[in-house]
């Protein structure tokens, strides 16, 4: 009996270790994609291609542009701003030219006295007005392959409505999603539609999770579940993500974290330790990142911006989601105690299937288990050598392939050990984007173990 138990235990562990993660996305080539990037706000600052290259060098392959309903609709106080549309075109093209895709997210900013309680009742055809605003975006980008899709209702609220969260979700939110999705798919049926749950009233959250559970299916195709997580208790990150995972199964939709990262305070930039010190934030972000990576979910950090002003709604004082600390609208001075965690190495696009991956912050090592499929094209692994491997790094695949990058030589990847049938030229180090490009895996339709570790191990 002990022998049989041991066999079954080992078999079970092999399934746990090497079964394919269910999240992430697939691109047009069928590659397994892990989306990462930033929320880009449109009300301040003029971005340049250099700013987008900075995003790329921080590991971004996606951006989420935060739309303002007040510049796209006929709601009270709103207008359809043609200059705003041109700005959106610029942001999409800047991302595209740097290899990044775009998701649009609709907020209700800019509308006079927008009230969710009135909106849900739809007595004045509010839904139609809202969908008409979306149609401007859908028609404009329906043929743009670098626009992935649309996060259609950002942080919907209950506020003073005398209704339960479950009833609001089933009676109003899900039918609205169905109406929006049906309208969208008449125009661009292949675009993804991101959905969120109700943002609960202050003080009504469960385990610091401010988002009500979606308990009924939407029953539409191309849906992606895009919850937000602003958890400041690292012990609750995993339970919250487990609940999201359950909702994902019910919705039949992969998870794409639309926003994450507890805001930092003005004090945090000067405090090293303590409840809101930099060491605590680094640990919180690391533990959150580990949960994300273990599940294989995409994640978008709010915001890629500077810090011209802070919000003041928490007892600890003024706070911000901006990842740069200088007063410019866009910003260049990183809050490195969080940006180094955001910009961690990961498998960005894999020709084949990502079985699992992990970046060990203490060891600075990335391990990826994958199943290769060279018919799907090239693969890319974000390394971030400029911040994580200033002493160089080594690339190992299974036991018989080792290459390394020596930053002092400013050269391509060099070979230490390579099977005769493998071409080292299939592995390209792109220092500009901080990625390894793999044109062809050494073995096709095979399970491979990829590892990136610091240093060059005295190969010379």
For residues 330 and 357, membership in a common domain is answered with no
Mean pLDDT along residues 448-455: 97
For residues 239 and 113, membership in a common domain is answered with yes
The per-residue pLDDT for 8 is 39
For residues 236 and 368, membership in a common domain is answered with no
**What is the rounded average pLDDT for all residues in the chain?**
94
* Residue 36 resides in a domain: yes
Examine the fold and report which residue of 343, 372, 391 is the final residue of a domain before the chain moves on. 343
Q: Cβ–Cβ contacts within 10 Å for residue 434, how many?
A: 22
What are the CA-CA distances from residue 438 to residues 36, 309, 355, 389, 427 (Å)? 19, 42, 17, 19, 5
The per-residue pLDDT for 140 is 98
Asked whether the predicted pLDDT for residue 88 surpasses 90, the reply is: yes
The per-residue pLDDT for 458 is 67
pLDDT tens digits, residue range 26-62?
Answer: 999 999 999 999 999 998 899 999 999 999 999 999 9
Residue with tokens 């009230």: 115
For residues 100 and 246, membership in a common domain is answered with yes
For residues 322 and 404, membership in a common domain is answered with no
Number of domains in the chain: 2
Distance CA(398)–CA(283), nearest Å, equals 31
Per-residue buried b or exposed e for 330-350, using 16+ beta carbons within 10 Å of the residue's own CB = bbeebbebbebbbbbbbbbbb
The per-residue pLDDT for 264 is 96
* Residue 75 resides in a domain: yes
CATH (domain of 259):
3.20.20.80
Mean pLDDT along residues 313-335: 95
CATH (domain of 378):
2.60.40
Q: Which positions ≥6 away from 279 have C-beta within 8 Å? A: 272, 273, 337
The per-residue pLDDT for 1 is 39
Contact 291, 237 (CB under 8 A): yes
For residues 339 and 438, membership in a common domain is answered with no
The per-residue pLDDT for 410 is 77
For residues 168 and 45, membership in a common domain is answered with yes
Distance CA(299)–CA(38), nearest Å, equals 8
Distance CA(354)–CA(38), nearest Å, equals 23
* Residue 16 resides in a domain: no
For residues 430 and 356, membership in a common domain is answered with yes
pLDDT tens digits, residue range 403-412?
Answer: 999 999 878 8
For residues 325 and 436, membership in a common domain is answered with no
What are the CA-CA distances from residue 361 to residues 34, 358, 389 (Å)? 19, 9, 12
What is the DSSP secondary structure assignment for residue 439, as one 8-state letter? Answer: S
| pLDDT-based confidence at residue 19 (cuts at 50, 70, 90) | low
Hey, which residues does 395 pair with through a beta bridge? 403, 452
The per-residue pLDDT for 460 is 59
pLDDT tens digits, residue range 188-197?
Answer: 999 999 999 9
Residue 198 belongs to domain spanning: 22-343
* Residue 302 resides in a domain: yes
Examine the fold and report which residue of 343, 374, 394 is the final residue of a domain before the chain moves on. 343
* Residue 8 resides in a domain: no
* Residue 4 resides in a domain: no
For residues 216 and 123, membership in a common domain is answered with yes
* Residue 40 resides in a domain: yes
For residues 251 and 296, membership in a common domain is answered with yes
Three-state SS for 90? helix
* Residue 126 resides in a domain: yes
For residues 249 and 383, membership in a common domain is answered with no
């Amino acid at each position: 009996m002990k022998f049989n138990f041991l066999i079954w235990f080992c078999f079970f562990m092999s399934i746990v270790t090497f079964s394919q993660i269910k999240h992430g996305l697939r691109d047009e080539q069928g590659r397994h994609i892990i989306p990462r990037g930033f929320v880009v706000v449109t009300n301040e600052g003029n971005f340049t291609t250099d700013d987008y290259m900075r995003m790329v060098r921080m590991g971004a392959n996606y951006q989420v542009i935060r739309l303002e309903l007040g510049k796209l609709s006929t709601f009270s106080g709103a207008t359809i701003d043609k200059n705003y549309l041109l700005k959106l075109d610029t942001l999409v093209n800047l991302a595209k030219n740097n290899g990044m895709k775009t998701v649009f997210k609709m907020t209700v900013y800019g509308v006079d006295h927008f009230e969710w309680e009135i909106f849900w009742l739809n007595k004045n055809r509010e839904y139609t007005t809202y969908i008409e605003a979306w149609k401007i975006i859908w028609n404009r980008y329906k043929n743009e392959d670098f626009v992935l899709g649309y996060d259609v209702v950002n942080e919907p609220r209950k506020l003073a409505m005398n209704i339960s969260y479950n009833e609001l979700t089933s009676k109003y939110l899900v039918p609205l999603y169905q109406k929006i999705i049906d309208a969208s798919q008449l125009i661009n049926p292949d675009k993804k539609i991101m959905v969120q749950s109700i943002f609960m009233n202050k003080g009504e959250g469960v385990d610091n999770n401010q988002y009500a559970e979606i308990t009924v299916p939407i029953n539409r195709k191309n849906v992606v579940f895009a919850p937000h997580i602003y958890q400041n208790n690292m012990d609750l990150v995993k339970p919250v993500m487990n609940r999201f995972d359950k909702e994902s199964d019910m919705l039949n939709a992969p998870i794409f974290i639309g926003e994450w990262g507890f805001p930092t305070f003005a004090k945090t930039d000067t405090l090293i330790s303590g409840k809101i010190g930099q060491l605590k934030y680094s640990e919180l972000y690391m533990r959150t990142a580990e949960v994300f990576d273990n599940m294989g979910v995409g994640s978008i950090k709010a915001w890629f911006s500077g810090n011209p002003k802070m919000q003041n709604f928490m007892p600890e004082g003024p706070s911000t989601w901006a990842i740069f600390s200088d007063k410019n609208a866009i910003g260049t001075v990183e809050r490195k105690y969080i940006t180094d965690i955001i910009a961690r190495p990961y498998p960005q696009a894999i020709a084949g299937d990502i079985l699992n991956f992990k970046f060990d912050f203490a060891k600075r090592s990335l391990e990826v288990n994958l199943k290769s499929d060279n018919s799907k094209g090239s693969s890319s692994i974000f390394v971030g050598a400029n911040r994580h491997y200033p002493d160089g790094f080594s690339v190992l695949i299974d036991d018989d392939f080792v290459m390394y990058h020596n930053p002092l030589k400013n050269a391509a990847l060099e070979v230490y050990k390579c099977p005769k049938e493998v071409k080292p030229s299939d592995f390209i180090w792109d220092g500009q984007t901080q990625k390894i490009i793999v044109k062809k895996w050494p073995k096709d339709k095979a399970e491979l173990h990829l590892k990136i570790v610091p240093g060059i191990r005295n190969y010379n």
